[in-house]
């Protein structure tokens, strides 16, 4: 029993347990990728000492992550929820982990070979759970249970397991089995469903017209599947369902959380908010107000408020003043401790055996083979093997951000392979010199690129924070322009299946083209290897480079 | 006593001690930045088990490096030489370590305040030695003892401590004191002196016309200073001194190593070759031949042969066949073991106390203050405080490589600070869309950049492998072009003092301009903060960003 009669410090210590704050996976403050959002070590240590019960980690390598989890546990001196947003494999966020194709690939496979897709989805969960646990995490913020019913959805898109509720339900159940078998907690997100929006809740609040019947027909189904498979937690979305609660977005809505998720869908696990720093919430509600509203609405855990200490104090006041019944605090504390008890084993692994020093790599050859298999099962090509080596060509690569990703480096297959065939790399990204001119019919400024054959590689997918900026780029017209001049040597799309489908419509029949749902090196290697014709007598350099990629 | 009568395996095990192989500082093979040059874990482990006695590490973070050193020592099961090329601070190669201005900055300070420069140089060595030791390294491949007597030197340049032998001698002695006080070994390089070349030995063999008198007047002086200060090792350069040895470059030359370095300069410490994979050697000599020649010439340690096992076998054969006297092997083994004995303490530190898990950051506030002090002491500005916020400007950033450096990220001051003042970033780099047009007088294609005020930031310095590619870019003409149109908002040069001096000649008196010898974030922050006028009422975002930078 928690007493409200004790000191305010004692209450704050208990309430703090329900907060999950954000930290970098790197050891030093100077290494943080997002210093505005990631606590400094000093702040983090203080909050942990004050009782904060969870940390979400971003950035750093797998080795650093493991170190970091140890440091954080030492600072807290008690069990913690340690989580990360590794929907597509540990390697999506932490170099050295395995990076898998996005879930939509499994939805695509499911439509052809459902049994195979189910097996792959279970292995997908197992691969993530295993690596997460070995690095010290005990809570994976997946599966995404949103049904991507709008191809223009800017933020879910390829992160969804499918475009219909049955596909998503079947695959997320398999994923969840694999994940939880590894001794880590799961999280179904983003309740009641972020799949049918054209607005990214990182940037503003999406408003949905759906009524309860529609939700029951589509959006709820995967969440029900997750709940019946005993998912550990559900994350609320920052979504305004105006027909159900005209005032509050789901994260702050008693109707959505308590009446629908808890009562109607009968979920008794942990409810966690999506990050409160996201602009859908933070534009309207301060940290304190948002935390109190979310908790009053029925959430157990408060994720990433901008000012955690203010939010903790505000929640304590609301409890002391009786605005929120004490019983709610007891329930949430109980749910959190229950969840932690389930994953107690994972801490032993971390303390017991230091896999990195022992020289056992995090990523096993089975993991690598699995990543390979997923790419090869979701690869699409047209006119495979027909791109030949030429004397002078351009490899035009379009990426969102030349800095912040592990997608491209000087060793990336998307750069090295075309260079072996005579295609010189030119990067096109929002912070580079523009390749565009003011001509709707001929938008590519070819004088800036060279009037030579161009291999076009587009890294485009829905991504949080990016909005739909790529939709403003006239790639259809650019492809038509290159074709009209006989300068399109080939086309590759990494990511969006919708863009791929759209571009295929205008592509001439003879053009070699390829698509992978993934953007990571494995997708690059397999897609390009399929498109290029074998080289005669590669040099030693080429051979050893090729070796690297296989 | 080493017996040549034992098994060939025993001999190979002893000979292998004299080899230093290259590995990534990352834990996983897939994370290697240079997979062609960095051994896979499997190869590395095998070579260590076969007796290889040293590893040079590149890439990874400070946390990973520490882990990596432990793993490598576990694999070897005996003391090793663990080294890195961290001439400008651990942070130059390993994120999370301190990154200092290049040594030329201290040479500049020395010309004005010699006593201060000497103190700073000693602290410079101490900062590097301390962080290296705490990460598990015991041998720092510094100081550079080359006298940068040619401003167009493509590879030494700002890495040198000065442009005259006295400055270099004084400062490297101070550096060496600081370094060795921390319990790590030092390395004077690149004997007999790489300062007067316009050829980068990473790409081809530099040929020098100097005779012995010239060497004694200039190049030898810093090496003599290093030797008299008891430097632990000397690294040979891949340089052909044709008047002294018309056949062999210094690395393979008995005249240079045995007659001059050992006998004339009386050096009895470790002689290590520069990396044998460098094209100055590898274009002409295979691994086996180069290793045997270098050892026969008098080198003790063989660094980075492309094929270490072939090189080890070849050296064994040469010993067994009597082409190299057995005594040479004994001398070299003895010198290596002596050197290792001096740094035995450093292993204790690594095993004893895990500084990262304990929550003590590698970089102390003293280290940060020192890095700040070095930048502020070597900063040059013209018309400070006069760049004002505008509605629409361009921040044109020129970098060698947008991928491979920690110089620029989305959080870099060189990007974030100008954006606060209305200057939108456009990156210009060899793999981007070109900003150049075919017009010698007006080379910048302003239609690609926007006809708006341009803040020009040039990251240009001598760098291994880059040759002098920047010399082909017409920055003088570009500056004149922008000035003729009243579009030059400001100029910053990070790196080369020679380029800075050249551009100052054409700069109009009213243009704000700044120079730092460093390229790291600290140099960016201080240079730009000096040039910009204070903002009225910065936003919260700006305030917290500015906080990050101080």
B465-491 confidence digits (pLDDT tens): 555 555 678 999 999 999 999 999 999
Grouping H, G, I as helix, E, B as strand and the rest as coil, residue B380 is strand
Shared domain for A388 and A311, answered yes or no, is: no
Mean pLDDT value across residues B100-121: 98
B293 and B392 share one domain:
no
A-proximal residues of B, 62-81, CB under 8 Å: 62-64, 67, 70-71, 74-75
Nearest Cα to Cα of residue A523 among A13, A54, A55, A99: A99
pLDDT over 90 at B324, yes or no: yes
- Residue A373 covered by a domain: no
Residue B219, domain member (yes or no): yes
List chain B residues with CB under 8 Å of A548: 35-36
Q: How confident is the model at residue B464 (pLDDT cuts 50, 70, 90)?
A: low
Res A355: pLDDT:
53
Closest chain A residue to the Cα of B411, Cα to Cα: A33
The residues, ordered by sequence, that sit 6+ positions from A365 with a Cβ below 8 Å of its Cβ are none
A:477-516 residues touching chain B, CB 8 A cutoff: none
Three-class HEC string of B151-183: CCCCCCHHHCCCCCHHHHHHHHHHHHHHHHHCC
One domain for residues B468 and B521: yes
* Contact between chains at A362 and B28 (C-beta distance less than 8 A): yes
Q: Are residues B133 and B32 in the same domain?
A: yes
Each residue's pLDDT tens digit, B334-360: 999 999 999 986 655 555 455 555 567
Strand A380-382 and strand A513-516: pairing?
Answer: antiparallel
pLDDT for the residue numbered B542: 44
> Does A211 reside within a domain?
yes
Question: Are A455 and A342 contained in the same domain?
Answer: no
CATH number, domain with residue B53? 3.20.20.300
Binned at pLDDT 50, 70 and 90, residue B132 comes out as very high
- What pLDDT is stored for residue B287 in this prediction? 95
Please spell the DSSP secondary structure of B195-235, one letter per residue: TT-SS-TTTS--EE---HHHHHHTTHHHHHHHHHTT-SEEE
Domain of A329? 8-352
Task: Find the mean pLDDT for residues B89-106.
Answer: 97
Task: Give me the helix-helix angle, B114-135 and B165-181, nearest 10°.
Answer: 40
Note whether B57 and B153 are same-domain residues. yes
Give domain status of residue B3, yes or no. no
Q: 330-389 in A: which are within 8 Å (CB) of B?
A: 356-359, 361-363
Separation of alpha carbons A425 and A524, rounded Å: 14
Nearest to B433 among A361, A415, A448 (CB): A448
**Catalytic center residues of B:** 202, 274
pLDDT value at position A463? 61
Contacts of B146 (CB under 8 A, 6+ apart): B156, B159, B160, B168, B189, B190, B193, B194, B195, B219, B222
Distance from CA of A307 to the nearest CA of B (A): 13
Q: Look up the ipTM and state it.
A: 0.91
What does B412-476 look like in DSSP terms, one character per residue?
-HHHHHHHHTTEEEEEE-TTB---B-S-SSS-B-HHHH-SS-EEEEEEE---TTTTTGGGGS-HH
Domain identity same for A183 and A281: yes
Distance (Å) from the C-alpha of residue B123 to the closest C-alpha of chain A?
A: 21
Distance from CA of A64 to the nearest CA of B (A): 6
**What residues in A contact B30, CB-CB < 8 Å?**
96, 363
Nearest to A433 among B36, B71, B435 (CB): B435
Considering A26, A67, A202, A210, which one is annotated as catalytic? A202
Note if A202 is an active site residue: yes
Q: B547 pLDDT exceeds 50? A: no
Q: What is the pLDDT of residues B379-396, one digit of tens each?
A: 999 999 999 999 999 999
**Domains of chain A: total:** 2
The answer to pTM > 0.90 is yes
Measure the CA–CA gap between A115 and A109, rounded to whole angstroms.
Answer: 9
Give the mean pLDDT per block of 10 residues along chain A (550 residues).
74 97 94 90 96 96 92 93 98 96 97 98 98 95 94 85 97 97 96 87 86 96 98 96 96 98 97 94 94 98 96 97 96 97 70 55 93 97 95 96 84 95 96 94 95 96 60 90 98 95 96 97 97 71 42
CA dist B213 and B191 (Å) reads 15
Question: Which of B67, B428, B431 is nearest residue A425 as measured by Cβ atoms?
Answer: B431
Among the partner residues A31, A64, A409, nearest to B403 by beta-carbon distance: A409
Do residues B321 and B386 both lie within one domain?
no
Q: Would residue A357 count as lying in a domain?
A: no
Q: Check whether residue A453 and residue A307 sit in a common domain.
A: no
What single-letter DSSP state applies at residue A163? S
Q: In chain B, whose CA is at the least distance from the CA of A70?
A: B357
Surface-to-core class of residue B117, CB atoms within 10 Å of its CB (0-12 exposed, 13-18 middle, 19+ buried) = buried
- Residues of chain A contacting B74 with CB distance shorter than 8 Å: 357-359
* Phi and psi, residue B538, nearest 5°: -65, 150
In contact, A194 and A155? CB cutoff 8 Å:
yes
Asked if the Cβ–Cβ distance from A431 to B427 is below 8 Å, we say yes
pLDDT tens digits along A421-479: 999 999 999 999 999 999 999 999 999 999 999 999 999 987 655 555 556 789 999 99
CA–CA gap between residue A44 and residue B359 (Å, rounded): 11
Q: How many A-B residue pairs are in contact by the CB < 8 A criterion?
A: 165
Measured N-to-C along each axis, helices B344-352 and B114-135 cross at an angle, to the nearest 10 degrees, of: 60
B550 has a chain A CB within 8 A of its CB: no
Tell me: pLDDT of B185 over 90: yes
Do A33 and B545 lie within an 8 Å CB cutoff?
Answer: no
Query: Does B388 lie in the same domain as B336?
Result: no
Q: Does A27 touch chain B (CB under 8 A)?
A: yes
Judged by a CB distance cut-off of 8 A, whether residue A446 touches chain B is no
Cα A58 to Cα A32: distance, rounded to the nearest angstrom: 9
Tell me how far apart the alpha carbons of residues B354 and B350 are, in angstroms, rounded to a whole number. Answer: 7
Q: Is B34 left (phi over 0), alpha (psi -120 to 50) or beta?
A: beta
| Residue showing tokens 């971003």 | A58
Q: Which of B303, B337, B352 is the last residue of a domain?
A: B352
Select the residue from B57, B63, B423 to test the A interface by mutation, using most A Cβ atoms within 10 A. Answer: B63
Strands A240-241 and A423-428: unpaired
Predicted confidence at residue A549, as pLDDT, reads 37
Strand order through the sheet with B19-24: B139-140, B81-84, B54-58, B19-24, B302-303
Angle A137-A140-A146 from CA coordinates, rounded to 5°: 170
Q: Verify that B412 and B346 share a domain, yes or no.
A: no
What is the average pLDDT value for chain B, to the nearest integer?
91
Residue B126: inside a domain: yes
pLDDT exceeds cutoff 60 at B35: yes
Strand, coil or helix: what is A444?
Answer: strand
pLDDT for res A465: 52
The answer, for B229 touching chain A at a CB cutoff of 8 Å, is no
DSSP, residue by residue, B512-547: -EEEES--SHHHHHHHHHHHBPPPSS--HHHHHHHH
Residue A541 has a pLDDT of 42
- Helix A114-135 to helix A165-181 angle (10° resolution) is 40
C-alpha B523/C-alpha B515 separation (Å) is: 9
Rg of the Cα atoms in chain A: 24
In a domain, A13, yes or no: yes
Q: Say whether residue B28 is in contact with chain A using an 8 A CB cutoff.
A: yes
Q: Are residues B95 and B141 in the same domain?
A: yes
Residue B164: inside a domain: yes
Q: What is the CATH number of the domain that holds A475?
A: 3.40.50.10870
Write the CA distances from A165 to A121, A222, B77, integer angstroms.
16, 6, 56
Chain B residues touching A362 at Cβ < 8 A? 27-28
Identify the burial level of B76 via C-beta atoms within 10 angstroms of its C-beta, where 0-12 means exposed, 13-18 middle and 19 or more buried: buried
């Amino acid at each position: 029993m928690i007493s409200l009669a004790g000191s305010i410090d004692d209450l704050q210590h208990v309430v703090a347990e329900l907060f999950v704050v954000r930290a970098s996976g790197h050891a030093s403050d100077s290494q943080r990728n997002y210093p505005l959002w990631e606590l400094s070590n000093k702040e983090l240590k203080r909050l942990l000492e004050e009782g904060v019960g969870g940390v979400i980690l971003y950035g750093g390598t797998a080795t650093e992550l493991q170190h970091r989890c140890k440091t954080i546990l030492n600072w807290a001196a008690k069990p913690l929820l340690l989580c990360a947003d590794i929907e597509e494999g540990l390697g999506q966020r932490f170099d050295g982990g395995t990076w898998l194709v996005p879930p939509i690939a499994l939805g695509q496979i499911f439509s052809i070979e459902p049994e195979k897709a189910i097996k792959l989805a279970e292995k997908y969960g197992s691969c993530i759970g295993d690596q997460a646990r070995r690095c010290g995490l005990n809570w994976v913020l997946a599966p995404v249970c949103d049904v991507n019913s709008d191809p223009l959805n800017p933020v879910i898109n390829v992160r969804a397991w499918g475009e219909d509720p049955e596909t998503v339900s079947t695959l997320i159940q398999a994923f969840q089995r694999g994940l939880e078998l590894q001794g880590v907690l799961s999280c179904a997100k983003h309740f009641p469903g972020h799949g049918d929006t054209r607005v990214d809740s990182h940037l503003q609040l999406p408003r949905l017209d759906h009524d309860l019947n529609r939700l029951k027909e589509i959006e709820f189904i995967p969440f029900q599947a997750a709940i019946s498979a005993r998912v550990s937690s559900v994350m609320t979305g920052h979504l305004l369902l105006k027909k159900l609660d005209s005032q509050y977005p789901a994260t702050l809505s008693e109707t959505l959380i308590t009446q629908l998720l808890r009562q109607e869908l009968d979920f008794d696990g942990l409810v966690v908010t999506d990050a409160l720093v996201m602009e859908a919430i933070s534009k309207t509600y301060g940290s304190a107000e948002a935390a109190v509203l979310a908790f009053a609405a029925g959430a157990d855990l408060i994720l990433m408020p901008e000012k955690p200490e203010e939010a903790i104090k505000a929640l304590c006041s609301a409890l002391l003043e009786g605005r929120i019944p004490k019983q709610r605090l007891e329930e949430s504390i109980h749910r959190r401790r229950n969840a932690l008890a389930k994953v107690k084993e994972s801490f032993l692994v971390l303390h017991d055996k230091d896999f990195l020093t022992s020289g056992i790599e995090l990523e096993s050859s089975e993991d690598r083979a699995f990543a390979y298999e997923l790419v090869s099962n979701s690869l699409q090509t047209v006119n495979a093997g027909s791109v030949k080596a030429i004397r002078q060509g351009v490899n035009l690569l379009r990426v969102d951000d030349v800095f912040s990703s592990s997608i491209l480096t000087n060793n990336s297959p998307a750069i090295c392979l075309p260079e072996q065939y005579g295609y010189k790399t030119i990067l096109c990204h929002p912070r580079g010199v523009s390749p565009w001119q003011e001509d709707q019919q001929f938008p590519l400024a070819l004088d800036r690129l060279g009037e030579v054959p161009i291999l076009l590689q587009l890294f485009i997918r829905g991504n949080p924070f990016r909005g739909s900026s790529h939709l403003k780029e006239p790639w259809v017209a650019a492809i038509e322009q290159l074709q009209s001049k006989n300068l399109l040597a080939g086309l590759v799309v990494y990511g969006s299946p919708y863009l791929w489908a759209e571009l295929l419509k205008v592509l001439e029949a003879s053009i070699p083209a390829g698509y992978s749902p993934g953007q990571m090196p494995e997708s690059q290697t397999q897609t390009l290897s399929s498109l290029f014709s074998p080289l005669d007598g590669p040099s030693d350099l080429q051979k050893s480079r090729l070796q690297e990629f296989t």
